[in-house]
A and B are shown apart, each in its own frame.
Chain A
Amino acid sequence: MTRLRRHLPVLLVLCTALGATGLLWQHEQQITERRLRARFDDSLRDVASRVVQRMSTYEQMMRGVQGFHAGSADIRPQEFAAYVSSLQLGAEFAGIQGIGRISLIPTADKLRFINTMRDQGMPDYTIHPPGERPVYAPIIQVEPYAGRNLVALGFDPYSDPLRRAAMEAARDAGIPRITGKLRQILDQRPEDGPSFILYAPIFHHGAAITTLAERRAGIAGWVYAPVRLAEMMASLYGSTDPDIAFHIHDGIENTSESLLYASHPDSQFNPLLHGYEYIQVGGHSWTIEAYSLPGFAARYARSDANTIAISGICLSLLLALLTRILSTARQMAINLAQRMTEDLRSSEERWKFALEGAGDGVWDRDLSTDTVFYSRRCLEIFGYVPGEFPPVRSAWISRIHPEDRAAALADTEACINGHQESFASEYRLRCKDDTWKWVLSRGRVMHRDQNGKALRLIGTISDIDARKTIEEQIRHMAQHDQLTNLPNRALFADRLQQALSLARRDHTHLALFFVDLDEFKSVNDRFGHGIGDLLLQEVAQRLHACLRESDTAGRIGGDEFVILLPALGTMQDAWHVAEKIRSAMAEPFILDRQTIRISASIGIACHPEHGDTDTVLWTAADVAMYAAKEAGGNRVAFSETCTFPPVPATPH
């Protein structure tokens, strides 16, 4: 089936071309056949026409002889001979064997007539065939009087029914009439072929011949002319087609008995073309029958049909071959396209698998329309399914965290403008449930126009929220005390540094507390490290509770805490905070159903009063804390460089 489908165009072209060739060939054959038929019909008509003309010529001649007789009451033999001689029976009268005269003799006049003829120089003259008949019509003169014509003298054609019919028809019509096919009395040679005789009536001089009865009454004899068909036909003007055989039949039946003339008597006919034409001559109907001979078709059938057939077949095959080539090339192109499509699909699937497998989504942005295609995974990352999220860039941008948006757009623009080949931006994206999720957007320009303008941007979206969380945790762990979750020394030092910078810039105050728990070691010893750790955590919480949001508490050693108070109004404020802390620490701690009492010694150093750098402040606070501890603990001490009023005594 597939094989048939593949070869179908070739077969169609071949069949169509061969069909067209067949039609052309058939058309050409028809034209040739018509041409042949027309030529054949022309020849047949031409021959028929020439036979009629020749017969007309004969009749005219006979009318002339009639007229010659009509002009004189008694024609002498010499005058008749002279008249016939003057006719000069040449080519146009070819076929006529002679012209004779017949006298109508009643039985009563027979002997007198014979004697008269013998007296006129024909001693052997007699009427034949012999026998008694009511009337005799013997031939009395034949010109030219020579050769076989001599035999005819004395013959009575009226005794022969065939001749008599023609003679009577001529008498009744008053004009020449012909016999049917006959063999003349003077023709003994078989090669001479059939003949007919023209008879024209001679009426008594001065007799009225207007009516049939008058003509029958006035008949005196006939003039006649035997005609041999073969000679007549051979002498027709113009040439007859040598490749067409003509037969002439007496009457409308074409039998061997009726055959008057055959141009090709010995030929066997199996003609391509065959036709009849009927003519009317001397009161008789003749049939002209024509057969085409083998040479006719060969001569006239110079048909282009064979050339058309051969050329057509060759062209058809060439067309089919061409179609085959084109079809094969097309099939090859289709195969190649299919293979490439499959490769592309495989590649696309591999990439999709790789990307989706890695949890990444793909986006494809058309910069001319600013529409974006988002893969299923891309949308899943922030809680959507395909079809839910509008495929426009602005919808995406609106979901980028305001803090991250400017940087993300800048990265993208840098890539679009060609400043960098690709970009990678990390930002938070608002999910469908309004939570934020960290994503990594990477992309590059895939198509640019002739002027370098970016047309298409393709990239991926990776969900990095988990990674960001871990990073945060690591960062937190690096900067905080694991036990109390308070900033450790490093982070606290950093914040102190930043606060100092701001305070120096804004000429504001800040305070740094060093807080040391009194007797913490004995708690560890007495209740164990577990309780000690719980105590430290509780301390951290109480510290927090005593501070503002902007303040920072940190743990820098076993029982040592530091506190930073930025944006401090007055040193008095610091004092109050420190006292609040000391009081909080002095409250009993209930840990593991045990009441533990501790206290705290707090040293305060202020900027700019006690120092301008972290190191100075750090040392000043530390010294103040030790001073408080030296003073018995559970108290607050300013750095000694402090110029503020003395701090009220702390009750124990």
Chain B
Amino acid sequence: MTSFLKAVLLCVTLSCSSPVIAAGPDCSRPLTLALHEHGLLYDSATDRGIDRDIADELIRRSGCKITVTVIQRARIWQLIESGALDFSLSGITNAERDQFAGFAWYFSNKYYLLVRRDAGVAGISDFPRNSTLRLGVIRGFRYSKTANALVDQLAEGRRVSFASGLDPLYELLLGNRIQGMIIEPFDYPAAENGKIREQSSILEFGDDPVPHGLIMSKKSLSTTEQGKWREIMRAMREDGTTQRIFEKYFPAELARTLTHFSD
């Protein structure tokens, strides 16, 4: 009797967590999804990360064949815009990106300035004042409002060094070629690592958390299809799957903070 009940409950749970069976997305063609290396989001060395898990869950729930590749972030946006790439993950929007991409939010986080201790920066506003300080950012990345303003201001003064990933930025920071870089909670493990931790401190920008989501190319996916993928992401959040994925990488409280937000 107990086994029977368990079986029934399992069936109900599976049917609830797999709404795509009824109105799933169009899987008639192979789809493409690109990851980018970024701290806990994805590490190609281990082929692990939050976005890897999210991608796997998407593939599982949709039942579609999705080819996952690793591409640098700036290139991902170009491919999404051109329609050559269907999906990517942990994207944030702006007016320009809204023109060519749709989003399905699954977490929200704040941005922080990782700054060398010897740079004499006590607050965010100290950084632009000292013209000798340079900021390192990942090409193609946008951040929260204040962080974007800082990047744009410094870029105007040619005080920004661009890199394709975080590792060169950490090297530049340790080599004092840059004195600050913008990080997210996914970068904590690297930032907490030995030398970096010794030589740097973390400042908060103070902006509201910025929602991150599944990026969908408007050129390759119709509005209807985008709605179906949004529905999958929503179901993942509602049934706690997303939070559980984050809990694999973050303390439970932080995982909850990151995944519980209002759209």
Which residues of A are in contact with B by a Cβ distance under 8 Å? 37, 45, 48-49, 52-53, 56, 172-175, 251-253, 276-280, 283, 285-287
Q: State in angstroms the CA–CA spacing of A56 and B69 once bound together.
A: 10
Instruction: Give 26 pairs: A residue, B residue, CB < 8 Å, sorted on A.
Output: A37-B158, A45-B74, A45-B139, A48-B139, A172-B45, A173-B44, A173-B46, A174-B47, A175-B45, A252-B171, A252-B172, A276-B161, A277-B139, A277-B162, A278-B163, A278-B172, A279-B163, A279-B168, A280-B37, A280-B72, A280-B166, A280-B167, A283-B45, A285-B163, A285-B168, A286-B168
* B75 with A278: CB separation less than 8 A: no
CB-defined contacts of A252 to chain B, threshold 8 Å = 168, 171-172, 175, 177
Count how many chain B residues have C-beta atoms less than 8 Å from C-beta atoms of the other chain. Answer: 26
Q: Could you tell me the distance in whole angstroms from the C-beta of B206 to the nearest C-beta in chain A?
A: 28
Within 8 A of A (CB), among B83-133: none
Q: State in angstroms the CA–CA spacing of A111 and B235 once bound together.
A: 62
Q: State in angstroms the CA–CA spacing of A280 and B161 once bound together.
A: 14
CB-defined contacts of A280 to chain B, threshold 8 Å = 37, 72, 163-168
* A52 with B163: CB separation less than 8 A: no
CB-defined contacts of A286 to chain B, threshold 8 Å = 168
Q: State in angstroms the CA–CA spacing of A252 and B166 once bound together.
A: 13
Which residues of B are in contact with A by a Cβ distance under 8 Å? 37, 44-47, 70-72, 74-75, 136, 139, 158, 161-169, 171-172, 175, 177
Q: State in angstroms the CA–CA spacing of A279 and B163 once bound together.
A: 5
Instruction: Taking A45-B74, A280-B37, A280-B72 as given, write out 20 further A-B residue pairs in contact, using a Cβ cutoff of 8 Å, ordered by the A residue number.
Output: A37-B158, A49-B72, A49-B74, A56-B70, A172-B45, A173-B44, A173-B46, A174-B45, A252-B168, A252-B172, A253-B175, A277-B163, A277-B164, A278-B163, A278-B168, A279-B72, A283-B45, A285-B167, A285-B168, A287-B168
Contacts A173-B46, A252-B172, A252-B175; A279 near B71 (Cβ below 8 A): no
A48 interface neighbour in B136, B161, B164, Cβ under 8 Å: B164
CB-defined contacts of A287 to chain B, threshold 8 Å = 168
Q: Could you tell me the distance in whole angstroms from the C-beta of B160 to the nearest C-beta in chain A?
A: 11
Q: Could you tell me the distance in whole angstroms from the C-beta of A415 to the nearest C-beta in chain B?
A: 86
CB-defined contacts of B163 to chain A, threshold 8 Å = 277-280, 285
CB-defined contacts of A283 to chain B, threshold 8 Å = 45
Q: State in angstroms the CA–CA spacing of A37 and B44 once bound together.
A: 34
* A52 with B164: CB separation less than 8 A: yes
Q: Could you tell me the distance in whole angstroms from the C-beta of A531 to the nearest C-beta in chain B?
A: 133
Q: State in angstroms the CA–CA spacing of A278 and B166 once bound together.
A: 10
CB-defined contacts of B158 to chain A, threshold 8 Å = 37
Q: State in angstroms the CA–CA spacing of A279 and B212 once bound together.
A: 24
Q: Could you tell me the distance in whole angstroms from the C-beta of B174 to the nearest C-beta in chain A?
A: 9
CB-defined contacts of B37 to chain A, threshold 8 Å = 280
Contacts A276-B161, A277-B162, A280-B163; A251 near B171 (Cβ below 8 A): yes
CB-defined contacts of B70 to chain A, threshold 8 Å = 56
Q: State in angstroms the CA–CA spacing of A441 and B112 once bound together.
A: 104
Most chain A CB atoms below 10 A, which of B37, B164, B166: B164
Closest 5 CB pairs of A and B: A278-B168, A278-B163, A280-B165, A173-B45, A285-B168
* B44 with A278: CB separation less than 8 A: no
Q: Could you tell me the distance in whole angstroms from the C-beta of A633 to the nearest C-beta in chain B?
A: 144
* B74 with A278: CB separation less than 8 A: no
CB-defined contacts of B175 to chain A, threshold 8 Å = 252-253
Q: Which residue on B lies nearest to A286, using beta carbons?
A: B168
Contacts A174-B45, A252-B177; A278 near B169 (Cβ below 8 A): yes
A278 interface neighbour in B45, B46, B47, B164, Cβ under 8 Å: B164
* B161 with A52: CB separation less than 8 A: no
Q: Which residue on A lies nearest to B43, using beta carbons?
A: A173
Q: Could you tell me the distance in whole angstroms from the C-beta of A41 to the nearest C-beta in chain B?
A: 9
* A279 with B164: CB separation less than 8 A: yes
Q: Which residue on A lies nearest to B174, using beta carbons?
A: A252
* A49 with B162: CB separation less than 8 A: no
* A52 with B172: CB separation less than 8 A: no
Q: Could you tell me the distance in whole angstroms from the C-beta of A85 to the nearest C-beta in chain B?
A: 25
Q: Could you tell me the distance in whole angstroms from the C-beta of B8 to the nearest C-beta in chain A?
A: 35
Q: State in angstroms the CA–CA spacing of A173 and B171 once bound together.
A: 19
Q: Could you tell me the distance in whole angstroms from the C-beta of B99 to the nearest C-beta in chain A?
A: 20
Q: Could you tell me the distance in whole angstroms from the C-beta of B76 to the nearest C-beta in chain A?
A: 11
Q: Could you tell me the distance in whole angstroms from the C-beta of A252 to the nearest C-beta in chain B?
A: 5
CB-defined contacts of A52 to chain B, threshold 8 Å = 72, 75, 164
Q: State in angstroms the CA–CA spacing of A283 and B168 once bound together.
A: 10
Q: State in angstroms the CA–CA spacing of A252 and B171 once bound together.
A: 7
Q: State in angstroms the CA–CA spacing of A45 and B161 once bound together.
A: 12
Q: State in angstroms the CA–CA spacing of A285 and B175 once bound together.
A: 13
B71 interface neighbour in A48, A56, A253, A276, Cβ under 8 Å: A56
